Amino acid sequence: MKKRKLILFFSLLFIFLTCSLLLVSMSRSSIVFKLEGTTLAEEADLILIGLVKEGVSEEIKEEGGIFTFTTLAVQEVIKGPVISEIVIKEMGGTVGRRASMVLGAPRFFKGEKVLVFLRNTGGGFFSVLGLSQGKFSIVKEPASGREMLVQDLSGLHFIGEEPQQQDKIYLEDYLQFLQSLSPK
C-alpha cells in the first residue's frame, strides 16, 4: 500500500513538474493558432501596402490599458475599399513612465514599408490579424534589388507546431498568390 502511494506521489510530481516547465518555457510568448496565407486573406477585412507615418501611444482608462495608434499612408489596396490613410489600433505602448506590452504584437517603425492584413475593430480603427502574423515588412533584397517580405514572429508560440525557418517570400509572388485567391 505504501509503495503504491509513493509511486502515485512521484508520478503526480513528475506530471506537475513537466507541466510547470512547459508553461515557463511558453510564458514569454503568446500562444496562438498559426494562420496561413489563405486564412489571413479570407479573414482580413482589408489588405494593403502602406508606409508607416507615425505611431502614438495613449492610455485609455475606459478600455483598461495603453494602446498604440499607428498611421499608415496607403500605397496599394489589395482587398477592401480604396483609402489613402488608415489608423491601426493595437494594445500596448509607452505613455510617460508607464509601459504595456503584448507578446507577439506587431511593431511598426516610422518610414517602414509594410504589407498588412487588417480586421475592422470599429470606431474607424483596424487591428492586425493574428497579432504579428498579419504584418510583413517589405525590404529590398541586396543581391537582386527585389522586394521581399519579412515577418517577425518573435513572441508567438504556435499550438502544435515547432518554430520553422521562414522561406524567402518575394512581394510580387505573394501578391500573385493573393490575387489567385480572390473570386474571378
pTM: 0.80
Reduced to 3 states (helix: H, G, I; strand: E, B; else coil), residue 73 is strand
Give Cα 76 distance to the centre of its chain. Answer: 20
**Which DSSP helix (H) or strand (E) runs through 15?**
helix 2-26
Q: What angle do CA 137, 143, 149 make, to 5 degrees?
A: 15
pLDDT at 61: 83
What pLDDT is recorded for position 164? Answer: 64
pLDDT digits (tens, 9 = 90+) for 25-59: 444 567 876 777 788 999 999 999 999 999 999 98
Percent of the chain with pLDDT over 70: 81
Distance CA 53, CA 98 (A): 23
d(C-alpha 79, C-alpha 175), whole Å: 11
State the pLDDT at residue 74.
Answer: 98
Q: pLDDT tier at 19 (50, 70, 90 boundaries)?
A: very low
Strand duo 30-32 + 156-158: pairing: parallel
161 against 124, higher pLDDT: 124
pLDDT tens-digit map of 124-145: 999 999 999 999 999 999 999 9
Q: What is the mean pLDDT of residues 8-13?
A: 58
CA distance 37 to 66: 30
